[in-house]
Structures are given as structure tokens and as C-alpha cells.
Amino acid sequence: VLQISKQVEKSSLLDAVSIYQSLFAEQEQFKSAQQAIKQRIRQAQKRIVRRYQSHLHELAECDELENMRRYGELLYANLSLDSKRRGRDRIEVLDYYSEELAPTSIPLDPKLSLSDNARLYFKQYEKLQRRQAKIQPLIDADRDELEALDEAQVYLEHAENLEDLTLIANELEGKKRQNTAPASQVSQQGFQVNRVGKAGNKQKQQRRQLYEKKKKQAKKQRREEIALPPRRFRLKSGVEVWVGRNRRQNDELSLKSAAKTDTWFHLKGASGTHLILRKALSEASDEELLCAASLCAWFSQKPASLSEGAKVEVDLCSCGRLRKPKGAAAGLVIYDAERTIRIAPASPEALGLERIN
């Protein structure tokens, strides 16, 4: 019996060591992967910030847009002065757009007539107008990308395992794929040289294969995200709370999984996680609402950036009030807030919540 007991004790000790080594290796793998994603996000942020600043500089150059139109109209209104300004590089006229009708000096090309100078200003106006129309969507896209990266950093800070990191990495990879057009939408410029013959067909086939490969990767990514459920907690009252892990899961959670009578929480005026309280707003107690709002604020910000006692505003409404704009990015919804709570963020442990999954 003593010999058997010693064998069992030795076996248990070996199992414990093996488990410890396995957990340690998994923890190291988690830290390494988390650090790699952090570095990737920082690099993307630097690249997008440079691009954003460049677009802002281009937009600032369009500030002369209205001046170009005004100069052109003032010149057309003063064509009778054409004979008096020959050889001059400026003309002074009354500015009909100013309340005081103050005189203004307009630069001219001495070789051109006033009407030709006016046409030149209108041409510059139209050029700047087209340029401005192209730049503004790029600036909006840059802001959206920076906001998405900031949100990814928050999700990264709250990641608990390798599956969480996989979701974040997949979402970042998905944003890269959005910039890749399918083969049917690829510009024909790449096929002009080899439009006829085997070389051109081979190139088209390679592009098609690449597109099909990316489609399979996207499907696999969606399956992985569905396989990993949202975080689930149970309040002291017994009511469940669901918390999204990333933007795509936020969409799934708020628009498909939750009942229309459930209560939806989101950080006011900022990006963040979607949180669902599995209870109608009209039936939930103040304690339940405050607890859910505090948890939503916690998972919507980096723990390291939270200052003690600082409060944030959290909007809440029934899930039936959520609307998804056509073509909107993942996680973006429109809602009519029924109530706003100002509260300090708190972790699940601090709130005494039971973890279900």
C-alpha cells in the first residue's frame, strides 16, 4: 500500500509539473502574441497619422477655394476697367461681398485680359473644388481607421487568452483585406500589356486564385469569431450581462443575439464595447443599471488609462431602438438614448460578478 501511495504521489507531482510548464508556456505565448499585436497597432497608427496629416495639409491648400470664385466674379463685374489695367499685375476693385464694400486687390496675369483672368480663377476654383471633394472622404476614412485602432488597443488590454488575441488579429487583418478589390473589380491597367495570349490569361487566373483564397480566409475568420462567444457575467440579482469582444461581435451581439426588449449600453460619444443587460429597461433596478453601466465603461477603456474616481457617461436604451446604417462599419449603430448614467468604471471582480464563460 505504501509503495502504491508513493507511486501515486510521484505521478501527481509529475502531472503538476507538466501542467505548470504547459501553463507557463501558454502564458509566455500569450504575452509574446499580445506584444506583437501592440507593435503592429503602433506601426499602423504612425502610418495612418502621417497620411492623415498629409491629407489635412492638402485640405488646407483648398482654403483659397472661395477666394478664387470671388476674384473671378469681381473681375467679371469690372470688365469695363480692362483698358486701364494693361500691363499691371494687380487691379483694385470694390468688394461687393464685404458689408463695407471695401476695396480689394486682385492678382492678375499681365499678359491676359480681365475676362481671361476671370476664367483662370474659375478654373482654379473648380480644380480646388474637385480636389476638396476627393480629400474629405480620405480624411474621414483616416479618422475612422485611427478610431478603430484605438478601440483595438482597448480590446487588446482586456484580452484574456489566445482566442481573444486571434479575434483582434483577424479584425486587423480584415481591415487590410477591405482595401483589396476582388478580381472582377481590379483595374484593367494590369492587363493592357498582355490582354491577348497565355500570359494575360495566366495573370487573370492568379488574381482570381488570390481573391478566392482571401474569401476563404474571411469565411474562416467569421467562423472563428462565432465560435468564441461574448463575455458573460451574472449580476448579484441573477440577471445575465453580455459583453462584446470586438467590433464584429458587437454587431452580432446587439443586432442578432439580444432580444429587442434587452437593455443596450455604450460609452457616450466615444467608441467602445457593446454591453447587453438581459432585462428590459423598464423592469431593471437602479442597482442593475449602475452595475452594467460601470462594467461597460470598464471594458470600453484601457485599464492603465483609468484614473481613480474618474467618471464617464454611458448611454443606454432598449435594443429595439438600435439601427444599422447601410454600409456602415462593423460595430457602428444609430440609437436614441433613453437614459445616460455618469459613473466610474469598475472591473467584474470589483463589482462581485460571477463569470459564466
Question: Does the pLDDT at position 199 exceed 50?
Answer: no
Helices (H), the chain: 2-60, 65-77, 114-157, 162-178, 198-227, 247-252, 286-299, 348-351
CA 230 from chain centre, in angstroms, equals 20
Average pLDDT of the chain, as a whole number: 82
Tens digits of residue pLDDT in 261-318: 999 999 998 889 999 999 999 999 999 999 999 999 999 988 767 767 789 999 999 9
Q: CB atoms < 10 A from the CB of 98, how many?
A: 11
Phi first, then psi: what are they for 311, rounded to 5°?
-110, 150
167: confidence class by pLDDT, cuts 50, 70, 90: confident
Cell (9 digits) for 345 = 468604471
pLDDT of residue 162: 87
Phi first, then psi: what are they for 210, rounded to 5°?
-65, -40
Listed range (206-210, 224-228, 350-354) with the worst mean pLDDT: 224-228
Q: pLDDT: is 294 or 190 the higher one? A: 294
Phi first, then psi: what are they for 142, rounded to 5°?
-60, -45
Question: Model pTM?
Answer: 0.67
77: confidence class by pLDDT, cuts 50, 70, 90: confident
- 339's enclosing H/E stretch is strand 339-343
CA distance 277 to 290: 11
pLDDT of residue 227: 61
CA distance 312 to 8: 55
- In three-state secondary structure terms, 275 is strand
Instruction: Give 190's contacts (C-beta < 8 A, 6+ positions apart).
Output: 203, 207
Question: Does the pLDDT at position 123 exceed 90?
Answer: yes
Cell (9 digits) for 154 = 482597448
Q: Which of 144, 145, 148, 150 is nearest to 301 (CA)?
A: 150
Q: What is the mean pLDDT of residues 4-27?
A: 65
Tens digits of residue pLDDT in 174-187: 765 554 433 333 22
Question: Does the pLDDT at position 224 exceed 70?
Answer: no
Residue 227's Cβ-side half-sphere holds a number of Cα atoms within 13 Å equal to 10
Q: Which of 321, 300, 345 is nearest to 254 (CA)?
A: 321
Question: Does the pLDDT at position 260 exceed 90?
Answer: yes
Largest CA distance in the chain: 122
Q: What is the mean pLDDT of residues 111-122?
A: 90
Listed range (39-43, 82-86, 124-128, 180-184) with the worst mean pLDDT: 180-184
